[in-house]
């Protein structure tokens, strides 16, 4: 692919002076770097910082996570969203702690992207990011920020994954691969932003073929958001505590506790349930509307203390609605 080469020294120099002060950038602990990458996959940087500190405090080493109960991990992750990441991280920690003879890594995180990729929850981006940042392996990573910078710098309206990877491989500065990958991502996050790129202060302005019409690159992805309506049936025990259910490990809010949800427009068939109100919740590809109903649990069924269990953001909203309508006997 013909493109104008980036001035690597200028971009690295810009990164050295303008990078955001992010706590994991001061750490050379591979586990801490891995945690930051997993958190940042689907969490904004500002919240990522908060959760990173929380996770590091609760699980300072791979071993400490491996020996923890998965519920403990989910509780620490509560609020960060996309809980399957936390479950996979827990499995990853356990797998790394296994002896080599059992397919593990004797408690030491593998150093190459190839080996990292074999661990649960690690995709090509995370493998390359961790290998380059934590272990200085000369491998280029590609994420949405880098794809946007690539599309603009080489004036490509719809670069494929392979084209973007090729571009990133060609650009890679092998002596400082971790800083180089982070510099490109930082440029995308803070200068070559999706809506308002700051071309006038951009360190790669000179080599950029798309700077006169940055908004033409890349063309937006057409992802469809599905609207789904649910019925939520909340049941209270004799003491006024709600009965909660642990969701299956895979699927929506995997492994977290929450209220009973049915994908349905219909009102409940149980006429003992009263309507409480509606909650809306948006996930990446799903707009959820939840009609909440409340009634009594059968017989001696015991409720739970919601504060003691890991709930999803959606279930917290349902809980807030119930509190706002004074649905609980006890606070």
When asked if residue 176 is in the footprint of ligand SF4 (CB under 6 A), the reply is no
DSSP 8-state class, residue 174: T
| Both tokens assigned to 329 | 């006997």
Dihedrals phi, psi of 151, to nearest 5 degrees:
-60, -40
The answer to whether 263 is a known catalytic residue is no
Closest contact distance (angstroms) between CB of 186 and ligand SF4 is 12
8 A C-beta contact, residue 151 and residue 218? yes
Distance CA 9, CA 264 (A): 57
At closest approach, how far in Å is the CB of 208 from ligand SF4? 3
DSSP, residue by residue, 67-132: TS-HHHHHHHHTTS--THHHHHHHHHHHHHHS-GGGTS-TT----SHHHHTTSTT--HHHHHHHHH
Residue of 204, 243, 252, 314 that binds ligand SF4 (CB under 6 A): 204
- Under the binding rule (CB under 6 A), the answer on residue 202 touching ligand SF4 is yes
Size of the site for ligand SF4 (CB under 6 A): 15
For residue 289, what are the β-bridge partners? Answer: 229, 280
φ, ψ dihedrals at 76, nearest 5°? -65, -30
Residue 208 · residue 216 · CB < 8 Å: no
Region from 198-206, 236-244, 308-316, 322-330 binding ligand SF4, contact rule CB under 6 A: 198-206
**Contact positions with ligand SF4 (CB under 6 A) in 210-229:** 210-211, 214
164 binds ligand SF4 (CB under 6 A): no
Phi then psi for residue 311, to 5 deg, are -110, 155
From 30, 177, 197, 306, residue interacting with ligand SF4 (rule: CB under 6 A): 197
From 105, 152, 176, 247, residue interacting with ligand SF4 (rule: CB under 6 A): 152
Binding window for ligand SF4 (CB under 6 A); candidates: 130-138, 191-199, 235-243, 255-263: 191-199
The answer to whether residue 178 forms part of the interface with ligand SF4 (CB under 6 A) is no
Which residue has 């109960």 as its token pair?
A: 69
Instruction: Return the number of the residue (183 or 279) whose C-beta is nearest ligand SF4.
Output: 183
Which amino acids are annotated catalytic? 37
Q: Which residues bind ligand SF4 (CB under 6 A)?
A: 149, 152-153, 191-192, 197-199, 202, 204-205, 208, 210-211, 214
């Amino acid at each position: 692919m013909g493109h104008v080469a980036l001035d690597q020294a200028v971009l690295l120099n810009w990164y050295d002076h303008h990078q955001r002060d992010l706590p994991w950038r001061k750490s050379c602990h591979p586990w801490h770097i891995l945690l930051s990458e997993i958190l940042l996959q689907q969490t904004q940087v500002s919240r990522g910082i908060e959760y990173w500190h929380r996770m590091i405090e609760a699980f300072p080493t791979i071993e400490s996570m491996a020996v923890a109960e998965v519920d403990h991990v989910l509780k620490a992750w509560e609020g960060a969203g996309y809980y399957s990441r936390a479950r996979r991280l827990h499995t990853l920690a356990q797998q790394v702690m296994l002896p080599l003879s059992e397919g593990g890594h004797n408690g030491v995180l593998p150093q190459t992207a190839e080996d990292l990729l074999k661990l649960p929850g690690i995709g090509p981006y995370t493998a390359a990011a961790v290998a380059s940042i934590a272990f200085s392996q000369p491998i280029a990573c590609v994420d949405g920020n880098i794809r946007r910078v690539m599309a603009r710098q080489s004036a490509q309206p719809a670069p494929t994954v392979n084209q973007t990877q090729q571009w990133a491989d060609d650009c890679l500065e092998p002596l400082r691969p971790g800083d180089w990958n982070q510099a490109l991502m930082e440029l995308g996050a803070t200068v070559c932003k999706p809506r308002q790129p700051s071309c006038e202060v951009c360190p790669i302005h000179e080599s950029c073929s798309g700077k006169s019409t940055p908004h033409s690159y890349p063309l937006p992805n057409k992802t469809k958001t599905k609207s789904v309506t649910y019925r939520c049936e909340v049941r209270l025990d004799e003491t006024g505590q709600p009965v909660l259910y642990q969701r299956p490990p895979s699927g929506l809010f995997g492994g977290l506790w929450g209220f009973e949800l049915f994908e349905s427009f219909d009102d409940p068939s149980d006429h003992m349930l009263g309507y409480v109100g509606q909650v809306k919740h948006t996930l990446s590809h799903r707009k959820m509307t939840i009609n909440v109903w409340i009634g009594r649990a059968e017989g001696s069924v015991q409720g739970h203390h919601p504060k003691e269990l890991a709930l999803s953001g959606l279930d917290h909203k349902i809980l807030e609605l119930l509190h706002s309508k004074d649905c609980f006997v006890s606070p």
